[in-house]
Amino acid sequence: MELSILTSPVGEYLRLGVVYFHLIACCVAIGLVLTSDIAMVKQLLKGDVSGHHDDAHMDSLQKTVSLALVALWITGIAVIGIDYAGKGMEYFLNPKLQAKIGIVVLLTVNGFVLHRGVLPALKKAGSLLKLSFSLRMLALFSGAFSGVSWFYAAMLGVGRPLAWKYSLVELLAAYPVLIVGGFGMMVLLTVWAKNKDAEKRLEQGTWTPGNAALAGW
């Protein structure tokens, strides 16, 4: 009886509604992450060490992305439950599903790192370039990991032709490469920004021996 309901038009509309809300939550999270990353890149391109982040905006960003992640978990589990009821245990053997679940789990862990460690330190320092070397590397890696993971999970979500066509290893082959590449680009950008800030201070005659700690790695 339950199976017939799920395979009926009512069940199909139910699944469509859940997938729709799942997609909306994903779009909200990706949009916020993208705008935040763009704002950070713009600040680095300016080489402005003294530029402070808007604490109210960061708090709002943190809460909204967290709520979007919770919504993704709830709607994602609902979709999996509906599909499992219609297809059985074989449904979980789909490599695309396994890849997406794995990335969302990693995103959740990375979210705890960002919200418990990176963002509080960033708000306290006022700028990414003012963080200590270890915290700055953690912030850059977590940021690159978050950005790549959100977009990769979205790609897997809409990539229905990928289902059962490729193995789990093949589906995730580009994932670590993109993370390392994104991290490397952000490291190079921060080095360039710190050098640009140092040159600016020298031109303005405001460079002092105490600034060496700020420019150092």
The model's pTM is 0.80
Predicted confidence (pLDDT) at residue 62 exceeds the cutoff of 50: yes
Instruction: State the Cα–Cα distance between residues 141 and 117, nearest whole angstrom.
Output: 13
The amino acid at 126? G
List, for residues 101-125, the tens digit of each pLDDT value. 999 999 999 988 888 888 888 878 7
Q: Where are the alpha helices (DSSP H) in 47-166?
A: 55-87, 95-113, 119-125, 133-158
Question: Of 28-32, 138-142, 162-166, which one has max mean pLDDT?
Answer: 138-142
Instruction: State the Cα–Cα distance between residues 162 and 171, nearest whole angstrom.
Output: 8
The pLDDT value recorded for residue 149 is 92
The pLDDT value recorded for residue 102 is 94
Predicted confidence (pLDDT) at residue 44 exceeds the cutoff of 90: no
Instruction: State the Cα–Cα distance between residues 202 and 21, nearest whole angstrom.
Output: 53
Residue of 60 and 57 predicted with greater confidence: 60
Q: Cα–Cα distances in Å, from 58 out to 11, 19, 50, 88?
A: 40, 28, 17, 43
97 phi-psi bin (left φ>0, alpha ψ -120 to 50, beta other): alpha
Q: Report the pLDDT averaged over residues 27-35.
A: 84
The pLDDT value recorded for residue 182 is 93
Angle between helices 133-158 and 9-46 (to 10 degrees): 150
> At residue 182, what are phi and psi to the nearest 5 degrees?
-65, -40
Instruction: State the Cα–Cα distance between residues 176 and 149, nearest whole angstrom.
Output: 10
